[in-house]
Amino acid sequence: MNPIINNRISIIGVPLDLGADRRGVDMGPGAIRHAGLRERLQVIGYEIDDTGDIMVNRPDVCQVNGESLKYLDEIEKVNNELCQKVNEEMGKGNFPLVLGGDHSIAIGTIAGVLQHQKKLGVIWFDAHGDINTVETSPSGNIHGMSVAVSLGNGHERLMNIGGREAQLEPAKVVMIGIRDLDPGEKVLLKKLGIAVYTMHEIDIIGMAKVMEEAIGIVSDGTDGVHVSFDMDVMDPLHAPGVGTPVVGGLTYRESHLAMELISAANIVTSAEFAEVNTVLDNKNQTAKMAVALIGSLLGERLK
């Protein structure tokens, strides 16, 4: 086990797929559980409390309610409940492990963690920046806005989740594996000075060096580190069942090495894994990959 982590892990499922255009990631939490998550973590030495799933209503028709954001009402409700649940489980001294669902769930997860760790570092693994705002989003999909909201740049109702003071510091956020950004995202990332390691940097300096630098950034002066892992950061060859696949992503070994190095640094205090889409998957391959990566992050070793 990783010594910084309490040996009690609270699994929180969020079967939400309203933040994206493509349906199917709502089955992600069940797929990850089915792939043997509890058993794998118990072998490592953890006590597991599976709290079940946050309830999600699924309207048949896309709701905008005069807003430009799709399904704002339901996504706000789900993330409010998720924030409260993460806060509650951390209050018990448990490590929150959140299973998505689309990546809009990060809004609630991070807001909940910030109730306990005011100075929070975040390592964001994703093919996308997820730092669009209402003004810059070409789609109105909230799963592409999670980072912006958590930094205090977003719709008022989403930023109110967990309270306005529950915000990240741009200097303590690192993005890894990025290879698909909208024009407005590029502008905001540059404005905020967020550290971004695209696949270009990973190819040139290697994952070990990237993680050394990333861990240094997020652990300097912080109370803990949250890992937010969108499975589409991996190449579709290794993780075909994701909400928004983009070719040219992380390999199997690069992904595991990243998790292993974070684990060895003894800094991680919460985590979420998102965007497993069983409709697009091959024999639950991507969910099994998520379980393996969670194992590496939480201290699984060969010797």
Could you tell me the CATH superfamily of domain 8-297?
Ureohydrolase domain (3.40.800.10)
Among 191, 197, 140, residue whose Cα is nearest residue 170: 191
Domain residue spans of the chain: 8-297
The answer to whether the CB of 47 falls within 8 A of the CB of 89 is no
Question: How long a stretch of residues is the chain?
Answer: 303
| pLDDT at site 64 | 54
Mean pLDDT of the chain: 94
At 68, the pLDDT band (50, 70, 90 cuts) reads confident
| pLDDT at site 62 | 59
Q: Is the pLDDT of residue 65 over 90?
A: no
| pLDDT at site 41 | 97
pLDDT digits (tens, 9 = 90+) for 150-206: 999 999 999 999 998 889 999 999 999 999 999 999 999 999 999 999 999 999 999
β-strand partners of 121: 225
The number of beta carbons lying within 10 Å of the beta carbon of residue 260 is 18
Cα–Cα dist 211/257, whole Å: 9
Q: Is the pLDDT of residue 60 over 70?
A: no
Among 113, 110, 105, 107, residue whose Cα is nearest residue 89: 113
State the average pLDDT over residues 221-228.
Answer: 97
Percent of the chain with pLDDT over 90: 89
- Catalytically active residues are 103, 126, 128, 130, 143, 230, 232, 275
Q: Is the pLDDT of residue 136 over 60?
A: yes
pLDDT digits (tens, 9 = 90+) for 31-53: 999 999 999 999 999 999 999 99
Q: What is the dihedral of CA 50, 51, 57, 60, to 10 degrees?
A: 0
At 21, the pLDDT band (50, 70, 90 cuts) reads confident
Q: Is the pLDDT of residue 1 over 70?
A: no
Q: Is the pLDDT of residue 85 over 60?
A: yes
pTM greater than the 0.75 cutoff? yes
